[in-house]
Amino acid sequence: MNLALRDIRHHGSRFLQTCIGLSLLLAVVMGMAGIYRGLVSEAMTILNDTGADIWVVQQDTNGPFAATSRMQEDLKYRVRSLPGVVQASPVSYQNIQMEREGKPFRFFLVGYEPGGMGGPSTLVTGRGIERRHYEMIADLSLGMALGSRLKLGRNEYTIVGLTRNMASSSGDPLVYVSLADAQEIQFKVDNNALRTDRRRVEKGLGAIEGLGNGQQAVLAPVVPTLAGGTHQINALVVKVAAAANPLLVQESIERWGHLRAISDSQQRAILFEGMIAKARKQIGLFAVILLIISAVIISLIIYTMTLDKVKVIATLKLIGAQNRVIVGLILQQSLIMGIAAYLAALVIINLTCDKFPRRVELISSDLQVLFVIVLGICVLASVAGIRKALSIEPAEALGG
Amino acid sequence: MYAVEVEHLTKIYGSGDSAVTALQDASMQVRQGELAAILGPSGSGKTTLLTAIGLINEPTRGRIVLGGDCVADNGWQPGFDLKRLRRERLGFIFQAHNLIPFLTAMENVMVALELNGVTGSKARQRAEELLRALNLADRKQSYPANLSGGQAQRVAIARALANRPQVILADEPTAALDTENGMNVMALLKSLAEENSSAILVVTHDHRMIEGFDRIFEVSDGRIVRES
């Protein structure tokens, strides 16, 4: 006969209420772990999907995600010519927030050369970008259907493909356009600014001593290309041949003096240290606090339940119950409470994880570790109750 | 052979100036099948005597012999598992029945059997047999809260009898009952003592119940002052 289960059955509603409270706490802990895993996963999404060995960015920056990086697109030709380089693709990244149906609408715009690296590796539906302009691939979380249109700047883009779980390190859904479109969106300035820019260049040329009128007339046609050019990118993603040493490629690029070549592992470290480490500490601390609260609650409930059973325990001792029976009664109740709350929490978090605004990734190893922690907490939480139970004298069963 | 022998039993609580002698030089013998009363006013030492015989209160001096085994001689004798002795040889009946509130009447009887290693169908069979004998067959699935005082006390008696103890110790078993139920319980204890050849020691200060006892030990100021 299991005394713990019978006691729980008798105090069903109190036990159920406690379990619900505990399960909500544990669900939050699971959610926290899931949010952390989601953060890591989101932060690494572009890196994983791109599969680059080297990220070439502006010198002295941690670009293109942790810092701004801007460089000329034509550098791709120079990088491609390096020994060991299999592929070098220009990419651009840009956060965009606009209003749509009266609500803020945020996404992370990725510009890539169709056929090159940096685009989506898999599509849920639709096709890849085939035309040079006005086509777009969006993540499902953006909430836009295949074939729908989105106005960006002066142009309207048609969604030709959809991805799943593609988000930036800040959790915004990824939207892909051709590099040409992305450059236009990111770098093209309006006509007034363009004219002002050209006048500044012309003025600069005019100020050069010794430049004759004839020479100035020759230079005039190139002024538009000197001012307001859009052929800029944020990074070059590089694939190195399997037989080649990526370190040598990195060194070659950095020897040019105006670029930084970051290996994939360095890029991951930059993202992790800069963008996730603090969040991890924050989330970890919250999870620890919640686990402590859970332990205190279990401990208090078990202790209270033990106090309620002083006469029962004394009677059991008097009729010859061994200490293991008494310890088992308290410990089993604590464990049953913890396990029931854990299972309920698992159901709750699985039912709600998709409703969170950011990705919640439930990893089975995390859940297993939490299960072991919950069991540990239950054992610890029952210590006070067990001590109290063992201190009860059988003689307390006597009297009125 | 006596079921219970107590010789020159003394219990002193505390030490030095704060020492209190609860029981002094008490001696008694009870045979199997006898129903004995330990009578006395509150604070006279009768419960101390009962708890010493019940192996939960170590005597300071004197001897306790249960079924021929000397379990205490100026303190507990080594080599005895007191809990095991309580399970196997003693049965307890309490003033307030002390049934476990989250167990049914049947389970309350079964718990004593299971603690003594009798499990499964054997325990169930024995519990049903006892409850039937005590006219509680129809209340076996009832929880203590749903039993009357008399019914609950009969379940407690069934539990005390579960392991066929040599000695049953009852602490004011009629105190929480009205006269009629109290008389019924006493009659039941008397018949059980005869049928099971158990020695039954009843602590009481209820003079209404003294009729029917085979022996009466009157306790006053920690001493057995009269034996009849």
Residues 6+ apart with CB under 8 A from B145: B101
Chain B contact present for A311, CB below 8 A: yes
Measure A333 CA to nearest chain B CA, in Å: 14
Cβ atoms of B169 and B85 within 8 Å: the answer is no
Distance from CA of residue B21 to its chain's centroid? 23
User: Chains A and B: how many Cβ contacts under 8 Å?
Assistant: 77
Structure tokens at A374: 């919950």
pTM beyond 0.95: the answer is no
Confidence of residue A363 (pLDDT cuts 50, 70, 90): very high
| Higher pLDDT among residues A7 and A197, named by residue | A7
Phi, psi (degrees; rounded to nearest 5) at A13: -70, -40
Phi, psi (degrees; rounded to nearest 5) at B117: 90, 5
> What type of residue sits at position B166?
Q
Residues 6+ apart with CB under 8 A from A38: A171, A358, A359, A360, A361
pLDDT at residue A226 above 70? Answer: no
Q: How far is CA A129 from CA A289, A371, B67, B114, in A?
A: 48, 46, 97, 75
Spatial distance between the Cα atoms of B32 and B112, rounded to a whole number of angstroms? 22
Chain A contact present for B118, CB below 8 A: no
Tally Cβ neighbours within 10 Å of residue B101: 16
- What pLDDT, on the 0 to 100 scale, is given for residue A235? 94
pLDDT at residue A188 above 70? Answer: no
Mean pLDDT of chain A: 88
Phi, psi (degrees; rounded to nearest 5) at A161: -155, 155
The domain B2-97+165-227: what is its CATH number? 3.40.50.300
- What pLDDT, on the 0 to 100 scale, is given for residue A129? 93
pLDDT at residue A223 above 70? Answer: no
Question: Measured at the alpha carbon of residue A109, what is the angle toward residues A103 and A110, in degrees to the nearest 5?
Answer: 165
Q: How many residues does chain B have?
A: 228
pLDDT > 70 in chain B, percent: 100
pLDDT at residue A190 above 70? Answer: no
- What pLDDT, on the 0 to 100 scale, is given for residue A399? 61
Measure A306 CA to nearest chain B CA, in Å: 13
pLDDT at residue A151 above 60? Answer: yes
Chain B contact present for A315, CB below 8 A: yes
Spatial distance between the Cα atoms of A326 and A331, rounded to a whole number of angstroms? 9
Spatial distance between the Cα atoms of A234 and A65, rounded to a whole number of angstroms? 9
Mutate to test the interface with A, among B47, B58, B83, B206 (most CBs of A within 10 A): B83
Spatial distance between the Cα atoms of A316 and A329, rounded to a whole number of angstroms? 11
Residues of A in contact with B143 (CB under 8 A): 10
- Mean pLDDT within B42-58: 88
Residues 6+ apart with CB under 8 A from B78: none
Structure tokens at A187: 């770098």
- What pLDDT, on the 0 to 100 scale, is given for residue B128? 92
Spatial distance between the Cα atoms of B72 and A47, rounded to a whole number of angstroms? 80
H or E stretch covering A264: helix A264-271
> What type of residue sits at position A13?
S
Structure tokens at A68: 């701004």
Name the residue among A316, A388, A332, A320 with its Cα closest to residue B103: A316
Instruction: Inspect the interface and report whether the beta carbons of B171 and A395 lie closer than 8 Å.
Output: no
Instruction: Inspect the interface and report whether the beta carbons of B107 and A1 lie closer than 8 Å.
Output: yes
Q: At what angle do helices A12-50 and A323-352 cross, to 10 degrees?
A: 50
Chain A contact present for B174, CB below 8 A: no
> What type of residue sits at position A184?
E
Name the residue among B70, B35, B76 with its Cα closest to residue B203: B35
